[in-house]
Amino acid sequence: MGGMVSFDDKEAICDKTQYCLDHELNGFIIWELSGDLMRDFSTPLLDAVHSKLNDPSLSCKAFAYDDSIFPSQSISTDELPRAPNTMSSTSSPLRCPDGFSGSLPKDSCREFYTCTFGTPIYPAIKCPGE
C-alpha cells in the first residue's frame, strides 16, 4: 500500500489541493488534522483547503509563511516544564528516550504510554480489546 505522511503549513496544503484539482482527482484524504484546531477555534489548514476548492484560481502564495512575523528562537528543553511522575508502586518502570515526546508500546503492545520530553506519563493506557 503506497502513501505519504507530511506535516503541512497553509501554503503546502493549498499546493496539494491544487495538485488534486489539476489532475482532476475525484477526492483526497486528509488523514489527521487534530493539530489544526487552534485555541481560538480557528482551523487554518482546513480553511486553506476550503478556500482553494471554492476558488481554484486562488494563488497558494497568498498563504506563504511570513517568517518576519516570528523571529527565530530556540528554547532549551531544560527550561520546559516536566510532567509529574504519578507511577503507582505496582507499576514496572517505563523508560522514554531522552527528549522524546510521543507514545510507546508496553507489554507486547497490549498497552501504550505517553512520553513528554523524555519523561513517562502514568498510567499506561490499555489498547482496545485488552
Q: Which amino acid is at 113?
A: Y
Rounded Cα distance between 52 and 56, Å, is 5
The predicted-structure confidence for 46-82, as pLDDT tens digits, reads as follows 999 999 999 999 999 988 877 676 666 555 556 555 5
Q: Which pLDDT value is given to residue 121? A: 80
**Which cell numbers in the block locate residue 111?**
498497552
Is 89 inside a domain boundary?
yes
Residue 37 lies in a domain: yes
Whether residue 58 lies inside any domain: the answer is: yes
Residue 18 lies in a domain: yes
**Chain mean position to CA 124:** 21
Note down the domain range covering 46.
10-63
Q: Is residue 121 located within the same domain as residue 86?
A: yes
Specify whether 49 is located in the same domain as 94.
no
Same domain, 31 and 55: yes
CA distances from 33 to 7, 42, 72 (A): 10, 12, 25
How many domains is the chain partitioned into structurally?
2
The answer to pTM > 0.75 is no
User: Does residue 4 form part of some domain?
Assistant: no
Residues 83 and 49 in one domain: no
Residue 49 shares a structural domain with residue 88: no
60-80 as b/e: b if 16+ CB within 10 A: beebeeeeeeeeeeeeeeeee
Cα-Cα end-to-end distance for the chain: 28
Helix-, strand-, coil-residue percentages of the chain, each rounded to 5: 25, 15, 60
pLDDT: which is higher, 88 or 44? 44
Name the residue among 12, 8, 51 with its Cα closest to residue 32: 8
Range from 32-36, 41-45, 106-110, 125-129 that averages highest in pLDDT? 41-45
% of the chain surpassing 70 pLDDT? 73
Assess whether 90 and 117 both reside in one domain.
yes
3-class SS of residue 50 = helix
Q: Examine the domain organization and report whether 84 and 54 are in the same domain.
A: no
